[in-house]
Copies of this chain bind each other. A is one copy, B any other.
Amino acid sequence: MAKTIYFEDVQIGDEMPRLVKEAVTEVQLVKYAGASGDFNPLHTVDATAKLAGFGGVIAHGMLIMAFVAQAVTAWIPNRCLKKLKARFTAVTRPGDVITVTGKVIDKKEAESLIVCEVQAADQKGEVKVKGSFEAVLPKKE
């Protein structure tokens, strides 16, 4: 669980701690299908994914979004997080190693709010998910 982080201790340009996930596996997609209830065969049936032109199974976008959320909430306590939005920019395949990075792009003193950009990219630097989040942080005084 994320430790308390104070508004004063965060500066524009600061990078959030990066999260590097283990390589995505087919079995992970099977597990995510069961956990999420999303049984679209593109994510688990190789032949279907090939027929659809993907060359093989692709990860659920929401799984990669979950990696992003994991990285964000490892840094910012859940209760402080006010908004998290993201769009999917590329597909993720088994074997891809996803790294989540982000940085602070704005601070709003009156609201004690920080605005950050965040992204998930693979080992080649291809960006899979690109987004931003906002958090209201406690002040020291």
Query: In this complex, what residue of B is CB-closest to A44?
Result: B30
Since A26-B47, A31-B39 are in contact, a sample of 13 more A-B pairs with Cβ atoms closer than 8 Å, ordered by chain A residue number, is: A26-B41, A26-B44, A26-B45, A30-B30, A30-B33, A30-B34, A30-B41, A31-B33, A34-B34, A34-B35, A45-B46, A46-B46, A46-B47
Within 8 A of B (CB), among A8-54: 26-27, 30-31, 33-35, 39, 41, 44-48
Within 8 A of B (CB), among A74-132: none
The complex places the Cα of A41 from the Cα of B31 at a distance, in Å, of 11
Nearest chain B CB to A42's CB is how many angstroms away?
11
Copies of chain A in the complex: 2
A33, A34, A41, A48: residue with the most chain B Cβ atoms closer than 10 Å: A34
The complex places the Cα of A101 from the Cα of B14 at a distance, in Å, of 68
What are the 10 tightest A-B residue pairs by CB atom distance, in nearest-first order? A34-B34, A26-B45, A46-B46, A30-B44, A27-B39, A30-B33, A27-B41, A30-B30, A30-B39, A44-B44
